[in-house]
Amino acid sequence: MTRRLNVWLLSVLLIIAIPYYWFLADAGAGIGSGEPRAKPLTIGALRKLADASDGQRPIELRVETVGLRMTSRNMLVAGGGLRQAPNIISAYELIVPGNGPIVIDAGISRSSAMTHEFDRYSGEAQARIETALSKASHVILLADKPTHNGGYPTGTHRVEQELPPSGDVPYTLAPGVVVIPASGVAPEANMVYVRLSDDREFLFTGDIAKLAVNWKELRLPARIATRGEIASFRRETLSWLMTINALHRAAPQMTIVAGHEPSKIPFSAGTFSD
């Protein structure tokens, strides 16, 4: 009887443990040819692109956080556990003297925040984002998703943003601002490198690294969180996480702005300007 019970308990444990590990704890990139590697992108190349266009570089960064929802940590980093973690939605404004701001991301609408079950939402913050968008000299989205594009369905292109050159090569958006396309992660996924006029550097990772732990420990979200993504998502994301990690080692003073990290961004100058 005891042996039969032990076999039964072991079977139940395996039935539960294997799917749990695969869907919630395994941070692997999945099946593919060869080991994922960092992209051939260097900090020197980014700095060169940032200086490729004559003109005034941005003088400061402003941040607006419009909403917060609590999410199972596994959905942000595999093996993070079932406990709830804050997951914020922000937009970023680069101030350029004598010109309109450069805006990165567009926040989220109240209705979309309700659909996505946000725990907190600031209509005032979203209004400031929309004012900045109306004055912007350039707009770039880190992802074409409701949590980045102002709350619109993917593919509707409601936010007027810059159309990138063909291909997946980093390009200069404006003096001091470089867009890094990552179409292997998602069709319109981007990162953005910024070099201010005082040479402070920022790298905005978007959904490639939602939290700092993603790029620091090279840990992907749980598989259950990425089941709707394109086939190359996990391997490409891991390659980009390795790239972010390498860029940080080469330029440790650069601030890495993870896409949904709740901590304050060093050297930012407050909320969006009026």
Domains along the chain with CATH numbers: 3-257 (3.60.15.10)
**Which pLDDT score is estimated for 156?**
80
Residue 58 has pLDDT above 90, yes or no: yes
For the chain, give the mean pLDDT. 85
Average pLDDT estimate for 215-239 = 83
Contact, 216 vs 261, CB < 8 A?
A: no
DSSP letter at 172?
E
Query: pLDDT tens digits, residue range 262-271?
Result: 888 988 888 8
Report residue 139's pLDDT band, with 50, 70 and 90 as the boundaries.
very high
Query: b/e string for 194-207 if b means 16 or more Cβ within 10 A?
Result: bbbeeebbbbbbbb
**Which pLDDT score is estimated for 134?**
94
What is the C-alpha to C-alpha distance for residues 34 and 21, in angstroms, rounded to an integer? 23
Please, what is the Cα angle at 154 between 117 and 126, to 5 degrees?
55
Entry field: residues in the chain: 274
Query: pLDDT tens digits, residue range 96-138?
Result: 999 999 999 999 999 999 998 999 999 999 999 999 999 999 9
pTM to 2 decimals? 0.87
Contact, 110 vs 118, CB < 8 A?
A: no
Q: Which of 156, 147, 98 is nearest to 121 (CA)?
A: 147
Weakest-pLDDT range from 140-144, 184-188, 220-224: 220-224
Percent of the chain with pLDDT over 90: 59
Cβ atoms within 10 Å of 160's Cβ, excluding its own? 11
Contact, 50 vs 177, CB < 8 A?
A: yes
**Which pLDDT score is estimated for 75?**
76
Backbone angles phi and psi of 66, in degrees to 5: -100, -25
Residue 25 has pLDDT above 70, yes or no: no
Residue 244 has pLDDT above 60, yes or no: yes
**pLDDT, greater one: 191 or 23:** 191
